[in-house]
Amino acid sequence: MKKYHLPLLLIGFAFASSALAQTLFVPARYSDEVAVIDTSTNQVVTQIPVGTFPIRIAMTPNRLKAFVSNGTSASISVLDTVARTNTATIPVSRVPGESAITPDGNRLFVLHQHGTGIPNQCPVEVIDTATNQIITTVIIPGHWAKEILFTPDGRFAYIANFSNDTVDVIDTTTYGVTSIPVGDGPRRLCMSATGDRVYVTNYNGGSVSVINTATQQLIATIPVGLSPEGIGITPNGQEVYAGNLRTDNVSVINTATLTVVATIPTGDRPQRVVFSNDGSEAFVTNAGTSNNVSVINTATHAVINTIPVGDNPFVMLVNPNGTKVYVTNSADTTISVIDIPSLTVSATIPDVGSAPFDLAFGPSGAPTPTASPTPSPTPTPTATPTATPGPIQLTGRAIRIQGMNISRLGWRGATSANVDVYRDGNVIATTPNDGAYDDSTGTSGQVSFMYQVCEAGTETCSNTVTLDFGP
């Protein structure tokens, strides 16, 4: 764990200024830590060790407790955000990913990008946030769930089920499941402020589906660009923005007519969309070679600025007072801070950890004296400054040979003699651990596959890699 030291004369000042500062918690996938950032100074004040490949973070409404999904250690780390410590580890099923906490703060729902091992079964754990105990495990169809949102009253949870081409609805009182067929490869969700509609991007289908939450029925499927992923609704609820990764543009949908009213060119692979608090500007991360953020005037549907950031910008979060946008640069070790009034990068926060991925705001103020960042009494895991070995790191490339789709995989970090290769949650091969494997998918044309590599016969696995084959 990295430690940061302030000169003695500055300690009193730093503590006083931190009392009003918002903290920002950032999981770093290859560092197996969560960085805590003081947003008044844009400095990392501590890094909290968690499980392997921390990929997502969910914060309770009071911001006093955070839950981190550890993608390759099949666990959830529980953080005390005031003391800034890891207080518990909850074992869960393989490859936990997205999670969300009910509006009352009492329960955490954990999705998985892997099935139970039984065909067409994917677990959703429900965890009591007070006791850190699993209350129940709800089974939904398929093997790869992507995002979860709750209705404002917390009665229903909506889940984008990528592998089943459905949006699954869990009744949070009875834990019953209703599956609503949508387009091909539902990826991400947004919901109207009143909770009456859910919008879902269909990544493989090139469309956005619209669900009436009162009837839990599909009411429209709207064609957009290729491979839509990120989606957001303007604060006034009048428009929905969908980022189309493979056509490098954003589709704007009028929520009254449910038609596309504008298509806005952006940078390479627009991925996520957030809005300024007043709704006048949309911010879009361009996660491909552009490495920038497009700023769109929502009144004119025109790009008014393009802001260079770090490598592979991904998740964005607007601070509570609406003055800054924080951007994870998921292929380096930094966070970019965009000043909204000037539309410029006001700071680049270094040393966040390798591959920062998600963001969540914690409480304001410095930790209590008993939780001050003094050396841990058991510092063994962080005794040396050299990085400890991380999880298996997987890369991939989509190629086409004689018209057939071939997934060319490469990895490092595995130690067993053989590895298991997973495609879309199922083992397709056990192969020597030589760092390379070509998957002849038997397909042609436009399709997407998700891959993982695991130590043979174990649950020690790599990151997930999605390969997209064009038409």
Q: How confident is the model at residue 385 (pLDDT cuts 50, 70, 90)?
A: very low
pLDDT over threshold 90, residue 173: yes
Cα(113)–Cα(162) distance, integer angstroms: 9
Please give the pLDDT value at position 414. 86
Give 10's contacts (C-beta < 8 A, 6+ positions apart): none
Structure tokens at 158: 């909506």
Q: How confident is the model at residue 456 (pLDDT cuts 50, 70, 90)?
A: confident
pLDDT over threshold 90, residue 374: no
Cα(213)–Cα(432) distance, integer angstroms: 49
pLDDT over threshold 50, residue 353: yes
Top-tier CATH class for 22-364: mainly beta
pLDDT over threshold 70, residue 49: yes
Q: Which is more confident, 427 or 257?
A: 257
Asked: is 393-468 a CATH 2.60.40 domain? The reply is: yes
Mean pLDDT of 439-444: 81
Q: Which is more confident, 83 or 371?
A: 83
Residues 191/197, Cβ–Cβ less than 8 Å: yes
Q: How confident is the model at residue 382 (pLDDT cuts 50, 70, 90)?
A: very low
Please give the pLDDT value at position 445. 82
Cα(334)–Cα(410) distance, integer angstroms: 25
Mean pLDDT of 111-136: 90
Please give the pLDDT value at position 162. 94
Please give the pLDDT value at position 2. 37
- In this predicted model, what pLDDT tens digit does every residue of 189-212 receive, in sequence order? 999 999 999 999 999 999 999 999
Structure tokens at 68: 């981190």
Q: Which amino acid is at 345?
A: V
Find the angle CA(44)-CA(82)-CA(95) to the nearest 5 degrees: 75
Please give the pLDDT value at position 424. 80
pLDDT over threshold 50, residue 370: no
Give 158's contacts (C-beta < 8 A, 6+ positions apart): 148, 149, 150, 151, 167, 168, 169, 189, 191, 198, 211, 213
Average pLDDT for the chain: 88
Please give the pLDDT value at position 7. 35
Please give the pLDDT value at position 170. 98
Q: How confident is the model at residue 402 (pLDDT cuts 50, 70, 90)?
A: low
Please give the pLDDT value at position 119. 81
Closest to 241 measured CA to CA, from 195, 292, 201: 201
Q: How confident is the model at residue 432 (pLDDT cuts 50, 70, 90)?
A: confident
Tell me the sheet residues that pair with 282. Answer: 275, 296
Domain boundaries, the chain: 22-364, 393-468
Find the range with the poorest average confidence among 64-73, 269-278, 301-310, 419-428. Answer: 419-428
- Residue 289 class from Cβ within 10 Å (0-12 exposed, 13-18 middle, 19+ buried)? exposed
Cα(280)–Cα(93) distance, integer angstroms: 42
Please give the pLDDT value at position 379. 37
Mean pLDDT of 360-366: 82
Please give the pLDDT value at position 365. 63
- In this predicted model, what pLDDT tens digit does every residue of 222-262 receive, in sequence order? 999 999 999 999 999 999 999 999 999 999 999 999 999 99
Q: Which is more confident, 123 or 462?
A: 123
Find the range with the poorest average confidence among 150-164, 219-233, 452-466. Answer: 452-466
Percentage with pLDDT > 70 across the chain: 89
pLDDT over threshold 50, residue 377: no
